[in-house]
Amino acid sequence: MFLHYKKKMLGGQGLFYPIVGFASLLAFMYMLFGDLKIDLQQQIKLSFVQRNGTQFYVDGRPVYINGWNSYWLMDHAVDEYTRPRVRAMLQAGAKMGLTVCRTWAFNDGAYHALQVSPGRFDGRVFVALDHVIAEAGRHGIRLLLSLVNNLQAFGGKTQYVKWAWEEGVGLSSSNDSFFFDPSIRHYFKNYVKTVLTRKNTITGIEYRDDPTIFAWELMNEPRCTSDASGDSLQDWIEEMAAFVKSIDSKHLLTLGLEGFYGPKSPKSLTVNPGPWSSLLGADFIRNSKISAIDFASAHIYPDQWFHDQGLEEKLKFVAKWTRSHIEDGDKELKKPVMFTEFGLSNLNKDFHPAQRERFYKVVFDILHESAKHNGSGAGSFVWQLLVGGMEEYNDDFGIVPWERSSMYLLIIHQSCRLAYLQGLIQENKSLKELCLKPR
């Protein structure tokens, strides 16, 4: 997300709950979902997702994604008292017909850090990530795993720069030195290799060989504001994308862009939300054209980008923004385009949940229309979904979808019409029950 939760560091002191609350949560989850141990005999057999031109394919059939973000899965899988939420969320997603969850495969130097210091990992947290992947596979959910944060939450590039500075090898204290400092590039490559070659202690499968992982994302919302030309970020992407592919040729790779057009792009003047957005060192077209990047990504946050517009104006922009990026995928990139975050804040003046539903529907309708015509609009991911009792992990965009029936049905409707286009409903018992059930 652009501005809010990612700036909140959730320190250990803020994560203690009353003992009774934990017991109640566990009892509630047990009643809902039964024994929390993963039964590997129930793992759903998944195949690797592949790309051909502007389309994703699985077993020769085109794939369109109705997905969601739950960044917190690994963090919650660390401790026994919060682990039930991982199963609850993945099971709930599957019951809504959602197929891919985007989540963090990083936590650098923060509370529940996966990477405690360069090249040093907390085994307990790695087992938590093992659990997330195994649990996702059990429910037939694939994962889009992000490898580092541009922002400071959960460490991010700031932590890498701090490590290099503290060890006396850093070239600069600027956060953007993450992209050009050789020592920091080495740190990140070591991290990537460790994650991709990790053997899951639950499934026994190395991450790079596990089809439960839909794709890797190099970075969440990369920006290099110290170099508006974009050359620094472009060079970093080219090197890191090639490095990932040298280790893992089976999985798809994306970048994690917000979708802004760079200063040399004609669309920087006609589609970008403002002049500021072309000066962030990123360029949707240039960055996404790199051959090792399999699909493009963009985010949609109209109320973060516009502060004086009403809902109708924002929705017009959303439609224009979404269609523009799909057009880029169709005509210039010749690759799928995924909208890997989109959300509407509840802090807007006169906010009502129905406004969020209208926003979601605009995105869903455009993606569905693209899919009907075999276009590059390959999917979208709501930011963000949670289960009940997670207020401290929420931001002004998160929802518990079943708490509002109209939102719940809207998400299911998108799942079902995309499944219909893929010819899945009649042959999949769960989808048939979900999509043909009278409502």
pLDDT tens-digit readout, 140-163: 999 999 999 999 999 999 999 999
Rg of the Cα atoms in the chain: 21
Report the C-alpha gap between 145 and 356 in whole angstroms.
26
**pLDDT value at residue 26:** 44
- pTM, to two decimals: 0.91
- Tens of pLDDT, residues 53-82: 999 999 999 999 999 999 999 999 999 999
Give catalytic residue positions: 221, 341
Under the banding of pLDDT at 50, 70 and 90, the label for residue 335 is very high
Name the more confident of 39 and 198. Answer: 198
Instruction: Please say if the pLDDT value at position 15 is more than 80.
Output: no
Contact 292, 260 (CB under 8 A): no
- Cα 399 off chain centre by: 16
Mean pLDDT of the chain: 91
Residue 34, pLDDT above cutoff 50:
no
pLDDT in tens, 273-323: 999 999 999 999 999 999 999 999 999 999 999 998 999 999 999 999 999
Do the beta carbons of residue 173 and residue 165 sit within 8 Å? Answer: yes
Report the C-alpha gap between 145 and 122 in whole angstroms: 18
